[in-house]
Chains A and B, each alone.
Chain A
Amino acid sequence: MQPFCSTLKRETAGFFHNYKSIIFNKIFAAVEHSLIVSQEDKIVFTSDKHWLHPLFELEDFIAKEKIDPITLFLRDKIAGKAAACLIVRHGIKSCHIELLSERAIPVFRQHHINFTYDHLVEHIQCRTEDLITDRMSIDEAWLFLRKRAGRVQGLAVKIDKLSVNRGDKEIVKCLDLEVGRGEQLIIHGANGSGKTTLLKTILGLVKPVNGSIQIGDTIVGSAEWKKNRSQTGYVHQENIKNSFPISAGEVVEIGLSAKKFTSQELDYRVEIAMRRTGCFHLLNHSFHELSGGEKQRVSLARCLCQNAQVLLLDEPTSFLDSEGKEELLILLKELSQNEAPTILLVSHDFQWIERLEWIKRELKGGQLC
């Protein structure tokens, strides 16, 4: 009798445990969270945030846990076109949406997503939904949404009535400029038009006569800025003239000069940055023996290592052959999509800047046209 009772008790307990777990999962799913992701019927990720943030959190989760997104099943409360683009971009193939916008359906169908829904509506009340145009690719939509979600590395740059002199000559005249977080801008113009002077003023290397520059929340030249000066990375046009020994790894390490790290952490950060720009194999090579393209890769790795949120690139193609220019083009496109720092690029290489497909403005007579 005793063993039978204990078995019955155990099985009943097991049944109730499983039952409770199913009920709990259902309640959990229905009440607590806006997004639930499961893998083989086991909930692996939940989020109760609003808007598209749960999907961005999911992106981080997939990357961190190195999960194959095809194995995941996603349940979302509401999804419009923007959410559909993100689901596709994350590589998820199956989902159930409680309230689905009709605009999301073509996106799912085009990318062969298995989807079900409880209710279908013509559109959902969200401005983001209207901003995703049909011309945008999934990657473009993802980048646009990341910027909108504030999930970009870049900081906004705001220049207000800036005047800068070179000697007695006013080279920048009452210039206004706003570049949003994670946006890119190309400034072109004739030689001597003040492009480099403008960049050096943004860096704080040249003092303006009038006006102010704001990077993120800090005013260039303020005490706060002095503490956070490394948030702006710089790749200048001059080829480094001195040829004293320095390895590519040491150049990248310069990005961390003002910060305190253990040597292990330092090596790790240098490696990550160099791998990111595809130049880790050059770690112990002499910087001065590298090709122009390799030097630019190393310089960009230095800026990444510095965790620069604004990148200022001054004539980056000056010393590059056609192969180097091609490499740099790909790298900058990748950077602008992934880390998405705010980039201000100065160049008069028209053929090359055309291919970047970034917004262009001309510096002429001390003003941006």
Chain B
Amino acid sequence: MLELLTYPPILKGLIVLLFAGISFPITGLYLLKLNLLPLRFMLMHGAIFGGALALAMQLNPMGTTILVNLMLVLFMTRASRTLRVDAGQMSTFFMVITISLAFILIYKFNVPAKDTLSILWGSLYTLSWYEVAGVVIFSLMILAFQLIFNRQLQAIFFDREIAFTAGVNENAIHYAIVIITALTVATAMKLIGALLLDAILLLPALITAFKVKSFHQAIIWSSLCGGIFAIAGFFLSLAFDIPASSSIAVLASVVFISFVIFAKK
């Protein structure tokens, strides 16, 4: 099986999954802690819109998707604060508007819907070396962000008012969290698809939450879980000749449900 790693697409897939597996669950924690789950759905629809836009305008799909999601997050956060509307409600609005725009583009520019919706499945083995480098750099950025702002993040996740009174620039850090989360979701969609990104993003964070007692432990264990799921899922996919995204998702789901049952007992 290891001889498969001599094929560049497989090797690139392994490298990307290793880095994404370790770093992306950290943003999964952010999503859970700040209750940004509606944001995740908005970004999924945003990715479809970005894909449609890229195909309609003949742009780079990954870059366009990331850019669209970044803009969406900034608009949503700004609008939510300015209009004092709950971020979840604002995300729902943008979720609807982006999917509508995506279908308008598909219809008007004769974009093949199948190609646009391919974002739902991901394309791990079609990454270029530039994209691999991009994912590696982005993963390292997530780890660095967590390491540098660990205490400020801890404060914001505990309580934003308390963080403010402790002197944390919670507004700027909140923006940074939302932007990093948006970039992660957009990247994860490209790797394992929109439908299965929860497996690498949220399940490690949820599993961790069952057992640990501190934020510090949550970060370490969700990273470890994510890394193990990604690598184990990758080799399972090679062994059983199934899509990597599915094997990662199945593995993470089995571990998650085991933890749920174990925790209830």
Provide the A8-29 mask, 1 if CB < 8 A to any CB of B, else 0: 0000000000000000000000
* Least CB distance, A367 to chain B, in whole angstroms: 25
Is A286 touching B213 in the complex (CB atoms < 8 A)?
A: yes
Q: How many A-B residue pairs have CB under 8 A?
A: 96
Given A253-B154, A254-B162, the answer on whether A244 and B209 have CB atoms closer than 8 Å is: yes
Most buried by B among A200, A257, A284, A289: A257
Q: Which of A11-66 contact B (CB under 8 A)?
A: none
Is A259 touching B162 in the complex (CB atoms < 8 A)?
A: no
**Interface-located stretch among B3-11, B195-203, B214-222:** B214-222
B residues near A256, Cβ cutoff 8 Å: 151, 166
Provide the A246-266 mask, 1 if CB < 8 A to any CB of B, else 0: 110111011111110000000
CA distance A48 to B70 in the complex (A): 66
Most buried by B among A247, A249, A250, A289: A250
* Least CB distance, A155 to chain B, in whole angstroms: 14
Most buried by B among A234, A246, A302: A246
B residues near A253, Cβ cutoff 8 Å: 151, 154
Is B217 touching A257 in the complex (CB atoms < 8 A)?
A: no
The residue of chain A having its C-beta at the shortest distance from the C-beta of B160 within the complex is A205
CA distance A254 to B161 in the complex (A): 12
Is B164 touching A205 in the complex (CB atoms < 8 A)?
A: yes
Is B166 touching A230 in the complex (CB atoms < 8 A)?
A: yes
CA distance A232 to B166 in the complex (A): 8
Q: Which of B155, B165, B215 touches A247 (beta carbons < 8 Å)?
A: B215
* Least CB distance, B181 to chain A, in whole angstroms: 16
B33 interfacial contact with A, CB 8 Å: yes
A residues near B218, Cβ cutoff 8 Å: 244-245
Is A234 touching B162 in the complex (CB atoms < 8 A)?
A: yes
Query: Interface on chain B toward A: helix, strand, loop, or mixed SS?
Result: helix
Is B151 touching A254 in the complex (CB atoms < 8 A)?
A: yes
CA distance A230 to B167 in the complex (A): 5
Provide the A292-319 mask, 1 if CB < 8 A to any CB of B, else 0: 0000000000100010000000000000
CA distance A205 to B162 in the complex (A): 10
CA distance A232 to B164 in the complex (A): 10
Q: Which of A216-272 contact B (CB under 8 A)?
A: 228-230, 232-234, 236, 240, 242, 244-247, 249-251, 253-259
Q: Which of B148-177 contact A (CB under 8 A)?
A: 151-152, 154-155, 157-159, 161-169
B residues near A247, Cβ cutoff 8 Å: 213-216
CA distance A289 to B214 in the complex (A): 12
B32 interfacial contact with A, CB 8 Å: yes
Is A246 touching B215 in the complex (CB atoms < 8 A)?
A: yes
The residue of chain B having its C-beta at the shortest distance from the C-beta of A283 within the complex is B214
* Least CB distance, A248 to chain B, in whole angstroms: 9
Q: List 8 A-B contacts (CB under 8 A).
A: A230-B165, A244-B215, A246-B214, A250-B215, A254-B155, A254-B166, A257-B155, A306-B167
Interface residues of A (CB under 8 A from B): 200, 203-205, 228-230, 232-234, 236, 240, 242, 244-247, 249-251, 253-259, 284-286, 289, 302, 306
13 more CB-based (< 8 A) A-B contacts, given A229-B167, A246-B158, A258-B168: A230-B167, A234-B165, A240-B159, A244-B218, A245-B209, A246-B157, A253-B151, A254-B162, A256-B151, A256-B166, A258-B167, A258-B169, A289-B213
Instruction: Give 6 closest A-B pairs by Cβ, nearest first.
Output: A258-B167, A230-B167, A247-B214, A286-B213, A257-B155, A254-B155
